[in-house]
């Protein structure tokens, strides 16, 4: 059982991040072009080997800090372990994959060989990284619906139509500003800053500015069904 753990071969452990952001209404992922074999010139996720005294989340945060300023990553969460024996040629490598988010207003410096690519039509990906990106995308989409995770994609302050653009890009379909407003307000996720933004040259009513009430992820709509019976009163 847990006694007698032996690792007969050199199993290595790496951490990988699917770093997502929304720009111009489209969901993008940060990819890095491999220079060397295997899979040279294919695009892969940022990450690397796990350090000895390091937990997986600390490791991915550290490794991202070497490319993206850590403060610019607004959310980090475990996605899954990818462990197929043949997922990489050569040595056995197990990957802990993460979903990371960058807010829309930030533009972290990234090395020359890395760039942002649309999640819906990514370039040739290395190893199983394409599957990881899809998992990240699906996880984000699901969580937009029942958590406040939108805060991690949005700038600190925003108008509803700017937020609509972000949600729309992340979800991959049109979102109504009216209903987005209502849903998020009803759940108490939004609070007005009190200020408004000036309309553009084409006129229009000035838009009210909002911010997210909380800046850490929380489940806002647990148990749609089969919830505990109401307390008698």
Among 1, 5, 112, 225, binds DNA (CB under 7 A): 225
- Cα distance between residue 88 and residue 77, in whole Å: 23
Cβ atoms of residues 129 and 44 within 8 Å: yes
Residue number with CB closer to DNA (33 or 157)? 157
Residues 194-223 that bind DNA (CB under 7 A): 196, 198-208, 221
- Cα distance between residue 84 and residue 129, in whole Å: 12
Stretch 111-140: interaction string toward a copy of itself, x if CB under 8 A:
---------------x--------------
Q: Is 212 exposed, middle or buried (0-12, 13-18, 19+ CB in 10 A)?
A: buried
Q: Which two tokens stand for residue 218?
A: 């929380």
- Cα distance between residue 233 and residue 126, in whole Å: 59
Stretch 165-184: interaction string toward a copy of itself, x if CB under 8 A:
--x---x-xxxx--xx--x-
Partner in contact with 207, chosen from DNA, a copy of itself, none, beta carbon below 5 to 8 Å by kind: DNA
Cβ atoms of residues 103 and 153 within 8 Å: yes
Q: What is the DSSP letter of 85?
A: T
User: Which residue stretch of 22-30, 45-53, 116-124, 205-213 sits at the interface with a copy of itself (rule: CB under 8 A)?
Assistant: 45-53
Residue number with CB closer to DNA (36 or 205)? 205
Residues that bind DNA (CB under 7 A): 159-161, 176-179, 181-183, 186-187, 196, 198-208, 221, 224-227, 229-230
């Amino acid at each position: 059982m847990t006694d007698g753990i032996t690792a007969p071969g050199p199993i290595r452990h790496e951490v990988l991040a699917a770093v997502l952001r929304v720009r111009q209404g489209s969901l993008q992922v940060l990819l890095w072009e491999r220079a060397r074999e295997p899979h040279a010139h294919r695009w892969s996720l940022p990450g690397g080997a796990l350090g000895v005294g390091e937990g997986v989340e600390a490791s991915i945060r550290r490794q991202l800090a070497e490319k993206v300023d850590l403060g610019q990553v607004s959310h980090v969460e475990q996605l899954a372990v990818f462990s197929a024996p043949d997922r990489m040629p050569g040595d056995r490598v197990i990957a802990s994959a993460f979903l990371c988010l960058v807010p829309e207003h930030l533009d972290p410096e990234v090395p020359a060989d890395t760039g942002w690519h649309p999640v819906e039509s990514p370039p040739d990906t290395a190893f199983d990284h394409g599957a990881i990106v899809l998992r990240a995308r699906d996880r984000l989409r699901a969580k937009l619906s029942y958590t406040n995770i939108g805060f991690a994609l949005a700038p600190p302050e925003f108008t509803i139509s700017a937020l609509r653009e972000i949600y729309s890009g992340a979800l991959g379909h049109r979102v109504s500003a009216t209903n987005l407003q209502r849903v998020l307000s009803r759940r108490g996720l939004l609070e007005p800053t009190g200020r408004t933004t000036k309309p553009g040259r084409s006129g229009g009513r000035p838009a009210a500015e909002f911010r997210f009430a909380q800046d850490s992820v929380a489940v806002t709509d647990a148990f749609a069904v089969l919830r505990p019976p109401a307390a008698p009163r």
